[in-house]
Structure formats: C-alpha cells, structure tokens
C-alpha cells in the first residue's frame, strides 16, 4: 500500500511539475528573440557541435517552448519527432531520449562553465524535457530565479520531475517594462535626430502619417497586451471586446490547474508588450518630434471603449488576439486576422475576394517557427468618422514587424498605393494591404503583397 501511494504521489508531482514547467515556458513569449539568439550560440559552440543528436534534441525542446508547444515535450513524442521512432514505440526498452537528454544536460553545464558571460542560461531539469530559461538582466533578477531541486536519491528520470519553486515574476516584469521604456527612449532620440537631419523634408507628409499627424489633437498609440496572449496559452478563453473591456480575462476559470494559478496571477498583474510594438512606438515618436506633433502612448489594457469614440487619430498595434480593440474596426475592413483557438494560431480572411486573390489561406505558423505568416497594414476611419486609424497587425511578431516596416517605408508603400490609384500625399485616402511572408526560425526571409484595397472612406463596406 505504501509503495502504491508513493507511486501515486510521484505521478501527481510529475503532472503538477510538468504543468508548472509548461506555464513558465509560455511566459517566455516576450523574450523569444533573445532566447533564439542564445540557443543558436549554444548550438554553434564547440561543446555541442560534435553531437548531432544533442543539437537536434536541444533545438527541438527550445523551439517547442517558444512556440507554445511545451505540453508536447513528452518522451515518446520527442522520440518520434526528433529521432524517428515509431509513434507508439516502447520507451522502456528504447532509452534514446533519456540518454541524449542526459548528454544535453552535461553539455549545457559545460557551455555555462566556458561562457559565464552569456546572459541567457539554459537548463533541462532532471525528470522533465521542458527547458528552463533564465535571462540574467542583473543580480536582482538572478535572485528571484528558481534553483532546481535535486531529485530524491534513487528516483529515476521517469518517476517524476523535481520540486519546483515558482518564479517571482513581478520584479522580472517590472524590470522588463523598465527596459522597454529605456529602449523606447533611446530609439526615439535616435529617430528624432535622424528626422531632424532630413533637410527640407517633412517625414509626415505621406501616408499613413499625412493622415495621422493632422490637426491639433495628439496621436494616440495603443500597444498590444502581450500578457493577455500569454494568459491564453495557459488557459484558452475568448478574446472579445466585452471580455477585455470588463477585465474578466484577468480572472482564471475554475478548472485552471492549481499549478498554473501562481503564474496566472503574476501575469495578470503585469502589462507587457512586444519588442515589435516598442520599436514602432520609438519610430512614431521620432516622426512626432520631427513634425512637432503630440503623441500619447497607452497599453490596450489602460483604455476604455469611450476613449475610442473621442475625436482624434489613433494607431493600434497588434492583432485582435492581443489587442481586442481592433475588433471594433474589423466590420469596416476587407482583411482581418482570425484566431484558431484550438491551435493558438491565426489565419487571414479576405472578405469578397477579387479575381486573382486567394479565397482561402492556410493558417500561420507560430512566432519563432518556420513557414508562412501574414501581416495587415490598414488605414481606416475612426469610429465616429472624425479621424483616421492605422492598424499594424500580424499573425506573429514577425508579421507585426513587417506591417510596421511598411508603414515607414515611403518608397515601397508609395509604389503599392500608386498601383491602386492613390497618391501617397493624399491625407484623405484610405488603404488596406495584406502581406504574406516567409519566416525561418523567427527571421523573415521574403514577403509579398497578396491583396490590397485603396480609396476613400471605409473600404470594406
């Protein structure tokens, strides 16, 4: 009986610790670019290069953690996906995953000893295939990171994961936000100086900025709520205007596992945005300074529906999945990004496709993965028709970055608009551009315009 109870306890602890590890992996979303770069450094090091199997396993587990698939990191799944075993193979007689995982742990330790200056630390805890990632911003951050507990003597790797200490996410989130503020300030000064150097050129004289920097009212920029996206990785819920405006998404559903409630609470208390949004805010700040315009930057979580009915111009960053206010404008638009909640991915929809335009498009890859992604850049009317709204959205962070870059590339955007009969200097014009991009491990390779709409007023109606 005691042996049976002990076995049940080990299985329960294993499940809870696996859930906690998956939760922590989901919270890596805002840092994925830095983590991917660190992963590549590890793989290219002399420590890992001699072993293809160790490289393949390490690449796979980090990729799953960064793309919301940490729950797939089970021994049999890894054996099939990485080492080509049959889907139902006997893990008891074939220990390839456990053997290579132990090798990866030793190599990670050796890499840390040889590269103590690397700010990103990877660990593969004994009893789990979900990697732990620590980003060493400072000693203050290091102090709140977990120290993996040693497994009990004689406990096999398959018997259960080690005890887990929850991260104190609040100080980390505050430091991350502070870093974003600093980065925004530095980039804003840089772009302001660049804009000042354009002798005799008004950087806001062409679309979309010719429409946005008009009148005496400030331009409001609403950044996406990346915390909301991470919460949906822990427990799926509908991203609706009502859910978001009333902050109901901050309260977990009753069936959320106990192991995930700590990370949920910490995430719900923070307001994080992506580095793509931060970069675009910095560039808009540069334009505002050069054109002597006013700028107000807010998180999507900070505003209310009434704020969007006030006269003035607006920029919405991110898709409806992380910035639900975009949904208010989608009835006016010909293109929109729809969330496949079961797969945590998005796909584009073209309303009333024109000849030559695709009627049905495949779903996007996740951020950081390889495949197709999509971006939408749309300049439409404000809710009351007394201003302009720019939406820069992507199915992934790479997609949002692509939309943002197009908004600032006057030459490229001007040619696209000219192709549908709109002058880039016409502040009253409106447009929508749907772009498909090829990404490889989070890096954009090529992009192409799939469809566009140009003209006056609300184009989708």
Q: Tell me: the pLDDT tens digits for 78-92?
A: 999 999 999 889 999
What percentage of the chain has pLDDT greater than the value 90? 33
Q: Tell me: the pLDDT tens digits for 375-429?
A: 999 999 988 777 899 999 999 888 999 999 999 998 999 999 998 888 888 888 9
What token pair was written down for 70?
């940490």
Q: How far apart are CA 388 and CA 423, in angstroms?
A: 17
Report pTM: 0.60
317 has a pLDDT exceeding 90: yes
Average pLDDT over residues 190-200: 40
Mean pLDDT value across the chain = 77
Q: Tell me: the pLDDT tens digits for 103-155?
A: 999 999 999 999 988 888 899 988 889 888 887 533 233 333 333 333 333 33
Per-residue model confidence (pLDDT) at position 304: 83
Helix 75-83 to helix 96-114 angle, to the nearest 10 degrees?
80
Q: Which of 29-33, 51-55, 404-408, 447-451 has the lowest mean pLDDT?
A: 29-33
pLDDT band at 311 (very low <50, low <70, confident <90, very high): low
Q: Tell me: the pLDDT tens digits for 33-49?
A: 788 888 999 999 999 99
Angstrom CA distances, 165 to 24, 81, 137, 149, stand at 11, 30, 20, 8
What percentage of the chain has pLDDT greater than the value 70? 75
Q: How far apart are CA 459 and CA 389, in angstroms?
A: 13
Average pLDDT over residues 365-373: 84
182 has a pLDDT exceeding 50: no
Q: How far apart are CA 248 and CA 264, in angstroms?
A: 13
Angstrom CA distances, 304 to 99, 134, 326, stand at 54, 35, 13
Per-residue model confidence (pLDDT) at position 432: 96
3-class secondary structure, 298: strand
Q: Which of 22-26, 178-182, 344-348 has the lowest mean pLDDT?
A: 178-182
Three-state secondary structure readout of 364-382: CCCCCCCEEEEEEEEEEEC
Per-residue model confidence (pLDDT) at position 37: 87
pLDDT band at 167 (very low <50, low <70, confident <90, very high): very low
50 has a pLDDT exceeding 70: yes
Per-residue model confidence (pLDDT) at position 136: 58
> What is the DSSP annotation of 15-34?
HHHHHHHHHHHHTTGGGHHH
pLDDT band at 275 (very low <50, low <70, confident <90, very high): confident
At 220, which helix (H) or strand (E)? Answer: strand 219-223
Between 210 and 273, the more confident residue is 210
pLDDT band at 273 (very low <50, low <70, confident <90, very high): confident
Per-residue model confidence (pLDDT) at position 344: 65
What token pair was written down for 414?
């001007």
pLDDT band at 437 (very low <50, low <70, confident <90, very high): very high
Q: Is 362:347 a contact under the CB 8 Å cutoff?
A: yes
Task: Give the residues across from 123 on adjacent strands.
Answer: 132
Between 313 and 309, the more confident residue is 313
């Amino acid at each position: 009986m005691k042996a049976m109870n002990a076995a049940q306890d080990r299985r329960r602890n294993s499940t809870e610790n696996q859930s906690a590890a998956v939760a922590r992996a989901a919270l890596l979303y805002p840092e994925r670019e830095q983590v991917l770069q660190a992963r590549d450094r590890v793989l290219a090091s002399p420590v890992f290069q001699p072993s293809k199997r160790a490289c393949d396993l390490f690449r796979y587990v980090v990729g799953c953690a960064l793309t919301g698939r940490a729950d797939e990191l089970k021994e049999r799944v890894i054996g099939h996906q990485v080492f080509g075993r049959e889907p139902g193979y006997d893990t008891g007689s074939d220990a390839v995953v456990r053997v290579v995982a132990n090798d990866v742990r030793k190599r990670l330790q050796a890499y840390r000893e040889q590269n103590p200056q690397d700010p990103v630390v990877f660990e593969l805890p004994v009893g789990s295939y979900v990697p732990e990632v620590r980003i060493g911003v400072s000693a203050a951050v290091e102090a709140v990171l977990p120290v993996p507990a040693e497994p009990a003597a004689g406990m096999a790797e398959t018997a259960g994961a080690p005890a887990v200490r929850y991260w104190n996410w609040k100080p980390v989130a505050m430091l991350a936000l502070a870093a974003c503020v600093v980065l925004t300030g530095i980039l804003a000064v840089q772009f302001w100086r660049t804009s000042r150097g354009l002798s005799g050129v008004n950087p806001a004289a062409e679309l979309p900025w010719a429409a946005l920097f008009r009148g005496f009212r400030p331009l409001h920029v609403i950044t996406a709520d990346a915390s909301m996206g991470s919460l949906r990785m822990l427990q799926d819920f509908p991203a609706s205007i009502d859910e978001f405006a009333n902050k109901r998404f901050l309260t977990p559903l009753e069936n959320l596992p106990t192991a995930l409630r700590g990370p949920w609470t910490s995430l719900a208390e923070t307001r994080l945005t992506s580095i793509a949004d931060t970069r675009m805010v910095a560039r808009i700040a540069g334009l505002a300074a050069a054109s002597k315009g006013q700028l107000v930057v807010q998180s999507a979580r900070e505003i209310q529906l009434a704020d969007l009915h006030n006269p003035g111009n607006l920029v919405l960053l991110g898709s409806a999945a992380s910035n639900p206010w975009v949904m208010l404008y989608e009835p006016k638009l010909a293109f929109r990004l729809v969330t496949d909640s079961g797969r945590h991915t998005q796909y584009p929809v073209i309303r009333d496709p024109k000849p030559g335009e695709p009627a049905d498009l495949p779903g996007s890859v996740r951020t950081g993965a390889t495949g197709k992604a999509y971006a939408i850049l749309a300049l439409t009317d404000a809710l009351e028709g007394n201003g302009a709204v720019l939406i820069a959205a992507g199915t992934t962070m790479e997609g949002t970055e692509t939309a943002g870059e197009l908004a600032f590339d006057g030459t490229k955007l001007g040619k696209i608009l000219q192709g549908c009969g709109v002058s880039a200097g016409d502040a009253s014009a409106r447009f929508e551009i749907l772009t498909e991009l090829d990404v490889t491990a989070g890096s954009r390779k090529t992009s192409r315009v799939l469809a566009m709409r140009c003209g006056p007023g609300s184009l989708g109606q």
